[in-house]
Structure formats: C-alpha cells, structure tokens
A and B are shown apart, each in its own frame.
Chain A
Amino acid sequence: MTLLQAQLARDISAEGRPPHENDPIVAPEQTLSSMTSQICAPPLERTWPLWWKLSLAAALVFVFILVVAIGWLFYAGVGIWGIDWPVVWGFAILNYVWWIAIASGGTFISALFYLAEVEWRSALNRLAETITIFAAACAAIYPILHLGRPWLFYWLFPYPNVMGVWPQFRSPLLWDFVAILTYVVSSILFWYYGLVPDLATMRDKAGAQDKRRFYGVFALGFRGSQNAWRYYRIGYGLLAAAMAPLVISVHSIVGLDFAGAATVGWHSTEFPPFFVFGALLSGFATVMLLAIPVRRLLRLEDFITGRHFDILGKLLLTSSLCVGYAYLMEAFTVFYGPDAAEKRLFIDKLTGELAPVYWATILFNVVAPQSMWRRSVRLNETLVVLISLFVIVGMWCERYVIVVMSLRRTHLPSAWGGYTPTIWDWLTLFGTVGLFIAGLLIAIRLLPVISMFEMREVILRNARPEK
C-alpha cells in the first residue's frame, strides 16, 4: 500500500463528505501531524492515479496545439486570425483580459484577506495563488502574440538604446505593459515566498535523496528558527501589502486600455472599477470551480469545508452585484450622455445581431449568481460548479461585447464592419486553457496544495477554545 492509499484509507470517513452548513473551518479531528502528513503525502508519492495522468495528457495535447498555433502565427502573421478593419483587436485582447481577470482571485484571497487576518483564507490561498500565476502567464502571452511584429515587443520597455528612443508614456498600452509585468513578477514572488516554509517541511518529510535535494534547493535553507520566522513574517506582510493594491491597479489599468481610447463603447470613466469588479467575479468563480475537484480528488474535505463554500459563494454574489451595478451604470451613462454613436452602439448591443452575446453576459454574470442568495445553493457542489462555469463563460462574453462589438460600430457608419473568429483564434484560446490546466496539474503534483504553515496556525487556534 502506498503512502497515499494509506492516507486515503485512513481518511475514509471524510470521503465524499459534502459541504455542510455547520462545518467548522477545519475538521476538529485534524491535528498538526495528521494535517502535515496528509498534505505532504501526495507530492511525495511515486505514482499518481489515472485521473491525473489522463487529464495531464489531455492538457498537454492542448499545449501542443497552442505551440502549433503560435508557431503558425509567427510564421504567417496576425492575419490568420479573424481581426479585420475596423475590428483590429480580437481574441488576443479579449482572452488577455479574460485571463488576467481570472488571475485576480488568487491575489485577492491571498493578499487582501491576509491583511484582513481572515482565517478561512489559509485553506485556499495556495490553490488560489497557483491559479493566479498560471492564469497570469496565459494572459501575459497574448499581448505579445497580439502584436503585428511580436519580435519587437521589447520596444515597449524603456530600455537604454543608441537611438535614444523611448516608449510613449501617454499610451495606456505602455502602462498596461508595466502593470502586467509588475503583476506577473510579484505574483510569482508572492507565491514562491509563501511556499518556502512548506518546501522546507517537504524537504524534511521526503525520504528519497532526490526529493530531499529538490525541495531542499527551493526551500532556500529555511530552518524554522525564531529569527527566520520573524523576518519571514515581516516579508510576507510587506509582500501582501504590496500585492493587495496591485490587484486593484492592474485591473484598473486594463480598464484604462479601453477607457483611454476615444473609441465608441470604451470611452468611459467607469471602466477601471468596472474591470476590477469583473476581475473579482471571475477570480472567485475560478477558485470555486477548481476548489471542488481538488477537494474531492485530493481528499481535502477536512480543510475545504462548508464554511469555505459559504464564504466563496457570498463573495461571488457580492462581486456579481457589483458587476450588475456597473452594467446598469454603463447603460445609464450612455443614455445620460450626449453621444449619439454611444447610444447607437448600446442599442445594437441590446437588439443587434450580436445581442445574444450581450444577454448571455447579463444572464451568466448577474442573473445566475443571484441563486447564491440561498445557502443550500452555495453548499451544493453541482450548482456551484455550474454557476462558476456560467460566470467564467459570461465574463468571456462580456469581453467579447467590449472588444468586438464596440469596434464593429465606430463613429462613421461607413466604417462599420463585422468580425468572425477563425479556427486559429479558437485553437489559441483552447491552447491557453490547456496550458493553464497543465500548469495547475503539475503544481498540485509537486507542491503541497494547502499552505501547511498557515494551516497549522488555524488548527492551533481552533484547538484553543478561548480563541
């Protein structure tokens, strides 16, 4: 019997336990050592079950497709996509915004709730941060692919050169480039920094020499001394304090990519907060969506409990209400303002040929999450998966409305056009989904899926009745 199987057998009581409203934040039977051995066990396992291998294989197929699609793109040019005149931005920008919004959930849960000293966060922050870095990586690919001459992307960077040419600092794209770069780099740092004590645990737990080396190198010699912990805590707090505003700024700047343009449908001051709301909604939805299979497959019922479902559901509902408010305000400002082209566009959104996309956005992002008002829905795994999926698709539709539908209807009716994505647009989108899933699968295979050092505090705190 392998360690993992033994582990599972021991926790047979937890198997398939559905979330319940009276669940504590962590199962009371969990002790420090049982938790540590349960979380450490899977990464140290020699072989993993079939579901993991199959899903990784499937994800790798899509990664391969992505590589082919990018190769062909570089060879043939962005003309292989459906972008045209006047819709010069298409899937690349749309998918970029979609992914970067998905990435927001991790940062928000990890950093903001850390600062707020929320203890339920500890069960989810590792998973959420992992989602963040892979989603941000997927997002970061797109702006480069999007360029007509992608090999010159570094020209956006203010690097010293003999020509003395600098980028143009008035352009929102430059702000965006900087914001994304900062966000991706600091997300990775934050994620890795949070991993260090757990990597040290893994190093100590690993029996085999190779694994000890592997974890040992990445644990950076963390020994758990009092001093190390003290500095570690300060560092972590500082990073969290830096990350929390970053999640707001990056999505505001993504919003400014659009609001900074004088384009019909984009030129609106509400875009920065609107994009933050949208990012939170899709971030929470993604965390919820992925927490459910991870909880089931890795037997984490003791740690990700009904409480977590309840809280995530409420967060989803809140951000959905915010997004709904933004949709309302969008309609209000359009009709309150004087611009005829804006009104024309909005009516086209409501009634034009692409109106189903707009209504799908409303349905998926605002209407469907309203069911979360009921606790029973928040605790029902099937419904939660369904609603999270709705939201993720709905957010994609929203970006379709923003990017494609707006560009189709410009000021001059003579320049109106259409947009039809090609097979390469779709393959690139699915390819990044594959990349994201593959990344996630490899991460849960190699790393502890729950932040053990923080979970220990939760267990200790819950063990003390006076707390």
Chain B
Amino acid sequence: MPPVKPQWRSLEELAQDAQFLSRVEQEFPGLVASISAPRDRRQALALMAASLALAGVGLGGCNGAPEGRLIPAVRSPPGIVPGTPDYYSSAHVEGGYAAGTVIKHFMGRPIKVEGNPFHPASLGATSPMAQAELLNFYDPRRSWGVTRANLPQSRSALEQALAEQRARLATTGGAGFVILTGASTSPTLAAQLDALRKSYPQIRWLHWEPIGRENVEKGFALAYGARLELKLQIQNADVILAIDSDLLSAAPGHLNFAREFASRRNPTRAKMNRLYAIEATPSLIAAVADERFIAGPQDSHRVLRALAGALLDAEPVEGPPWLDRIVSDLKANRGRAFIHLGPDHPPEAHALVCAMNEALGGRGTVYTLLEAATHASSDDSLSLSALIPDMRADRISSLLIIDSNPVYAAPGALDFAEALRQVDFSLCLSATPNETTDASLWAVPMAHPWEGWSDARAFDGTATVMQPQALPLYQGLEPHDLLGLLLRPDPPKSLDLIRETWRVPLGAKDAWIDALANGVVPDSIGPVSNRPLSNAVARIRPPEPPSATPVLLFRPDPYLLDGRYADNPWLQELPRPLTKISWGNPLQISPKRAREMLLHDGDVVRIAVDGAHTKAPIIIAPGQSDDCIVALLGFGRSHAGPVGQNIGVDFFKLMGRSCCAPDVQKTNAREELASTQHHANMFDEQGVYARSGALAQFLADPNFARRNEEPQPSFYEWKPQGPAAWGMSIDLNACIGCKACVVACQAENNIPVVGKEEILREREMYWLRIDRYYDGPPESPKVSFQPVLCMHCEEAPCEPVCPVGATLHDAEGLNVMVYNRCVGTRFCSNNCPYKVRRFNYFDFAGEERRAIESRNPDVTVRARGVMEKCTFCLQRIAAARIVADREGEKASAVTTACEAACPTRAFTFGDLAEKGSEVAARRAGPLSYALLADQNTKPRVTYEARVLNVDEPKETKK
C-alpha cells in the first residue's frame, strides 16, 4: 500500500482531540474506539471519516433516547408518499447572488439539486457548486456545538456572552462593534442590519468577499454615480467583446448569460452572434469564442485605451494590429454590440467600458442597468484593509464574523489572524470549523442554508424566499437569529422576519404559497435605472498595470471558489475544464516561459512575492500569456476537513503584496498532478472527434461536418423494437465546458469519488466526461470541448464480448448494465471505442462513507469488482414509464440529469422514434455526426459539429 497521505493527519488530530472524544464517548462509548483506531488506505475518502457516526448523531437526535411512550407513524406525515420524491424550491447563493434551485427530497431527505426554471438566474440549470451543495449539507464535519477558545460551551453561555455584548452596545452606541459578513442580497438581512444601526448608531458592518466584485461595483459608481447592476440581454448582442471576462463562468447571472449566449451559437437554429475574447489566461469564454487573442496585463491595458480612443473621444492610442478588425466589427453593429470586462480590472477600466458600451448604443437592447441587488456596507470607506488597522489599534472591541473565513482568505499581507487576536470579543458563525472559527474567541455552528428561512435576490433583483429543506441535522444558529440576538434576548424567528419583509407582496396566503412553490417572488425584479453616464468618464485613464513581468495573477478556482468548497469531494475531484487537474492547483505557466525555465508539468517551483513565499507545482497552460503566472485560489486550507486539508497550495498568503513580480525558482522536487486526460496536448486528428468549421464553410456546405459515414452491414444486426428509441444529441456549439452536467450526473447516479491517489492511477469513475482537445500551436491553441458518455450504440461492441451477458440491450435501445450479473472481466471496457465504462477497482462507494441518506435511492450503489456506465438516467425513464403506463400513453418527456443541469442546453435527450421530437430534429440536422462512425457502432448519441463565426478557420492570434 502506498504510504499514508498527509490529509489524514487531520483525522488523527480529530481522533486525538480529547474534548471531542469525551463528548462522543458520553453518547456512543463504542464509537470512540472506532474513531481513534488507526485507519488504512485512502484516507482522503474516509473523508467523511467520522462521517456516518456523526451523521447518526445529527439524524438520530442528539439527546439520546426520547422519554415517554413512542408512537409509531400509523399515519405518515402529511405530503409524504412513501417511495415518491418531493420537490421544494430553494436557491443557491454565491457571492450574495441567488440562483434558483429545486431540491429533490426522498422521504424527507434532500437527495438532489435541480435548477429552477422559473428563476431568471437558473432557467432550470445549475452550477456545479449548486449540485455539490448536497454534500455540504450532509457534511459530517459540520460544527455541532458552541465553543469558546476552542473549548465546548453550552448554548446558555453563548447567550450570556451575547447579553453582555448587548449591554455594551447599548452603552457605546455600537462604537467598536463590527459585523463582517459576505456579500448579501438578502432584504431581510439588510433590514436587520439597518435596524441594528437604528438602535446602535455607530455599529459598522462590512460585506466582504475574498474574491469580490468591488472593482465592477466601483466602476459603475464611477460611471453613473450610483450603485448599479448590469442586466444583460445577451441574446440581443450580435458582437461581443470579452476582455478577461467571466461572463459565462462566474459573473452573477452567468447561467442565464450562458443560456442566452448559446441560443445564438448554432447556425441551424439562429443567426450566429460573434464573440471575441481577449485575455491573459485561458478561460471558458475564450474556449468558446470565435476568435481569441492573448493579452497580458500590459497589453490589455493598451487594448482598453485603444478601444477608448476608437469608440470614445479619448486620445487615440495605437492598439495591437488585430484590434482594428474588432473595433470596426463593434462599430458596424452599433446598438447590438457589447463589451464585457472581467472583475480583475480596476474600477477606472470598468467605468471606461461602461462609457464604451453607452457609445455602442446597446443600452436598452443588449443591456439595462438596475439598482444594485447587493446590500452596501455600513459606509463606503469601510474595507477589510481599512478594518485591520482599527483592529490592531484596539479600536474594535467586538467583531462578529458571519459565514466568512477571513483568516484563510484575506490577503496574506494583511495578516488578519494577527489582527483578530487584538479583538477582545470575536465570534465566528460558520457551518464548518475553519481557520477563522479556530482563531476566534467564540465559534458558533451555523445552520446550513437548507435548514432555515432566508431570502436572496438574483442578479436582476428577482427575489427568492428560501425555505428550510430539512430539520436541522446539527444545532446550528441561523445568521438572522444571531443578528436578532444583538437586539434582544428573544429575537423573532427567521420565518417571522422573512414574512415581515415580504408582507406587502406576499401578504396573502396564496401569494406566499405561490412564491414558495415557484421559488420566485413575482415582480420583484430590480427597478431599471435611467441614470445617464457621468460626463467625465470618457477621459478616465485606468491606472498603469505594473510594468514588471511576469505578473502573478490570482484567480478563483472555478469550483472551490475562495476555498469555501474545499471540503467538498465532488468539487475537489471535478477535473478543471482546461487543465483537467483535480485535487490540486498547480501554478499555470505559459509554454514559452516554461521552456525558458526548463519546467515541465509537475515540477515544483519556489515562488516568492515581496518576502512571502511558497512552493507549488506548475502546469503548462497552453494559450496563456507569457506575461503572467496564474495562481488559483481556494486550495491549501490549513484547517479544513480531511477532504480539503492541505490539498493544493494556499496562494492567498501571497496576495496583497505591493510588488507584483514574483520570483520563481525551480526546485528539484516534483509532484504528480492528478489529471484525467493524459494525451499530449497537441494532436493531429482532433478534428475527427470534436468537429468544427467556419461559418463560411457551413454556409457553403451545411453538411461539411459529415463525412462518408453511412452505417455498414453488420454481423449481429439489431433492429430497434420498443415503443421508444431513446437517443441524445449534443450540441458542441453550446457546450461551454462548465461541468455542471458532470456533477449532476455524479449526484443523480451515486457515482463515487475516488480520491487523488486513484485519480493518479487513472481510475476516475465519471460516467460523463468532457473531453478537451487543443489544436494549433501550444502558445495559442484552439480549444474544443466534447461531452462523452455512453453512446448506447445500437451495435454495441461491449455486448457480444461479455461472457455472462451482464450488458445487453433493452427493447428501447438502451444499453443496460446488469450489475448483479457482472463478474468483472472488463472485456466490455476494452471493446468500447469511446471508453465510457468505469470499473470499481475497489469498493469505492463503500469507502466513500457518504451519508446513506444523501444517495439517490432509485440508483443501485455499485459494489467492488463491477463495471458501470451511463444509463441515460434509466431511473428517470422508468419513472416516466410508470406515469405513462398509468395514463395509457407512451413515455416521452424524460430529462436526464446532465440535460437538466446544462446551462446552455447542449444536451437534448428524447425519443428518436417520436415524430417531431427535438432530439430527432437535431439528429437530422446538417451538423449532426456520430463519433467514431467508422466503428459501425450506430451510436444513439450524436453530436452537432461546432461552427465558429469566422470567415475561415483561423488560429488564435497573439
């Protein structure tokens, strides 16, 4: 067995924590021995180590056996029909902004997150993080008791302490009392904070996000003199210029933008828009862009000034040669053109882009401006860097940290932890123990958002009332309760607060019920602002970026974000879209710079910025600017659970340094990078698999992607028999590589996480993977994404080779796996040209130790030694069949998990035999082609080739 990995040091710590053990022992004497016993292999996955045990604590009731007579449930609870799922609306909140979700429950337990089609920020889709929230909810590591100085305390002790704070607030009027919390759009929270200020006029609060959007907000404030929010109608844009943009991946409302953007990408269905991307480091939007240009920080500064010169009345500046074409394209599409700038650019640049967009005349058609949905900090001058001198100088006596982790995520230069020690009373409300709970005087368990009432707004202001999804698993306190406790000892319940907030629109019982059922408060969209642009904006000059090269750029990890999801195994393991790396965050270095420094993937470098330094492996990022090195944030948590602890490198500590040119030195060490795609970056014939062409090519010959690929005669001819012929069409024009489908598939189908060690041994279990192909030179390649899942071939090569007949066809064309029958010869996998079959080399599902309640009860959990693969969500088809049988019809409306989660509707699943079904229409479309058609497998999954809105296929420019 390989040696024990460091991540389970934390387990031992946990096991050796006397406090913890004694508390457990009181209730479960046998458990202590099992927890403190040494554990074997793959501790990352014993993850949820104390898992079941603790989950049992939560679910079984903390107070031991209840007293009195127990009455069995002769009548089941209202609304629950055994064996059928229920759905309740909720919202997934990220950076304060809500995206509507619908949580699927089974016998009262949440088991799956779906998007809410009524919600503008979801439109039925979800992000990977929203899907993975399920594991956060069931995380056995969640805090479950109040601690003071890391020693357990009773709830009454906390109430006592808060009473003292109340008394103090009353005498000081709130001076020296600061509430630090993440960005928030919750009207109720805002009302509570405002009420606090009414009682204690000098109280301050700071809405702070480690990876915030204050550049954007300040830019709008500069441009319009007010806190405004951008609402895009991107489907109206004909030309889009994205500069270091996160429009499709992280910007508030990105699921909505992705949907609208993708609705104009397939030339068989709509007039194509055109997307130019200019950026320093490869991102999703550039992967789907028609043309991509590489610009380091210096270059993009020049690009912005040149654009300003061309579009505004600013002084003309010479831009890169390719910019003229973009400018003329933008100008030619005045009124239907839009420029989007990423949040890493300074406020002045954002203000300038606001002015350019005004000049392009898209306001009202392509975008509108709304009043900001986020709540402002108590005063504009307040920021984390302003707070810290106050903390150091003892001007802050009490600090309340709500659902934020500044000790980990504050820029290292600020040394928040040290400042926190100067504060007399610090209290951290957090759902899991983390760096900040550890450093705070009081640590209070926070209720998971699914355990209490709250509300939140979407990017366009649409409000959602979030209802509890389950009885609390742990004794968490809701943020609303905590704020209430600052006012009075018996604060109103959060439900009452929420109802009070929404008394006017949702006062009537029906309105309230409808709002909860639909997951949106009707007509709550933010008011449109008609503010004109300030006159001086066009003359703003963004500050010069640092001249030193390379610049160290910090970007959030696409899935762990600022580290808040570091404990989530689904998101840790999810391969990053472009690098395909899981369980780690190597520094991204451009191919040229890596060549110069003789660096290869996995070489460890020592990187020092202004005195602070760390060691990290590198990965060569094709298409990255030579002027920058990119560090992904969110990893290297020092106080997280066994999943996230010490995985990757913490780059927050290099942040906030004045000098930006890092000193990078090669070391002799190497680290293996866990990647799920191993082939060399460049590959001659990628065009055969993920096909693409230029729009001109398509217009000349709509069938350009089809080659002479008619099915050949077959020895074992199989004729479709059943009433339905299930099939899928995947639109490569729409796929943006976000991987929401992969997590949705994992959640729906109980797909286990295997851990870094097994990823290194190439044993990932994903039924659905997003292949990434590069072509062109490594310095600026074109990227193609291709979702690959079981093709459900009509002539499935896996079937004739199985000696026990464990994989076979059903009448409706599904290639089904009989897990019970599988003896594990793995011949089917050898014979699968698409390599979509996955094998349980170990008891992956058993070792996962995931709370049983969180699994999908309709899907078998696979045992060791068994092959598995995509079933086209057979359980969903079966459910539809049952409904159809009851109504005497043919099952047709089935949505697979991947299809449901996809923000861009890249997947279309349905009955090919049904005349007029969308999947049949797409399959018949001119762009449709089958993967590896020469293998004569007659796959039921087809792809629509990607068309780029360019005159002829071109490589990206430098």
Contacts and interface: CB of A to CB of B under 8 A. Distances in A.
Given A84-B762, A149-B822, A417 B678 contact: yes
Contact of B841 (A78, A166, A263, A420): A78
Given A149-B822, A340-B685, A261 B842 contact: no
Contact of B932 (A88, A146, A412): A412
Interface string A385-419: 00000000000000000000001001111111110
A415 B825 contact: no
B686 A413 contact: yes
Interface of B: 677-679, 683, 685-686, 688-689, 716, 758, 761-764, 769, 771-773, 786, 788, 797, 800-805, 821-827, 829-831, 833-835, 838-843, 863-867, 931-932, 934-935
Contact of B842 (A76, A152, A171): A76
B842 A77 contact: yes
8 contacts: A79-B758, A86-B762, A152-B823, A168-B800, A172-B827, A262-B831, A340-B685, A413-B683
A412 B824 contact: no
B906 to A, nearest CB: 17
Contacts of A77: 840-843, 864-865
Given A153-B823, A170-B800, A414 B788 contact: yes
Contacts, number: 154
B801 A78 contact: no
A91 to B, nearest CB: 13
Interface in A40-82: 76-79, 82
A426 interface: no
Interface in A158-176: 165-168, 170-174
A260 interface: yes
B321 to A, nearest CB: 34
Contacts of B786: 414
A340 B934 CA distance: 11
B937 to A, nearest CB: 8
Contacts of B685: 340, 413
A211 B932 CA distance: 67
A148 interface: yes
Given A410-B833, A414-B677, A174 B803 contact: yes
Interface in A275-321: none
A177 B823 CA distance: 14
A335 interface: no
Given A76-B842, A77-B865, A84-B761, A411 B833 contact: yes
Given A165-B805, A168-B805, A262 B823 contact: no
A413 B824 contact: no
A156 B841 contact: no
A142 B518 CA distance: 59
A148 B829 contact: no
Given A87-B762, A173-B801, 4 more contacts: A83-B826, A263-B830, A339-B934, A414-B772
A214 interface: no
A88 B836 CA distance: 12
A156 B802 CA distance: 10
Most chain A CB neighbours (cut-off 10 Å) among B772, B823, B866, B932: B823
B762 A418 contact: yes
A136 B800 CA distance: 27
A79 B763 contact: yes
B825 A173 contact: yes
Contact of A147 (B772, B823, B833, B863): B823
A155 B932 contact: no
A453 interface: no
A85 interface: yes
Nearest to B786: A414
B841 A79 contact: yes
A173 B763 CA distance: 24
Interface in A228-243: none
A149 B866 contact: yes
Nearest to A177: B803
B763 A171 contact: no
Contact of A414 (B771, B825, B843, B866): B771
B824 A173 contact: no
A411 B803 contact: no
B691 to A, nearest CB: 13
Contacts of A165: 805, 821
Most chain A CB neighbours (cut-off 10 Å) among B804, B830, B839: B830
A88 B830 contact: yes
A218 interface: no
Contacts of B826: 83, 88-89, 148
A296 B281 CA distance: 72
B801 A85 contact: no
Contacts of B771: 412, 414
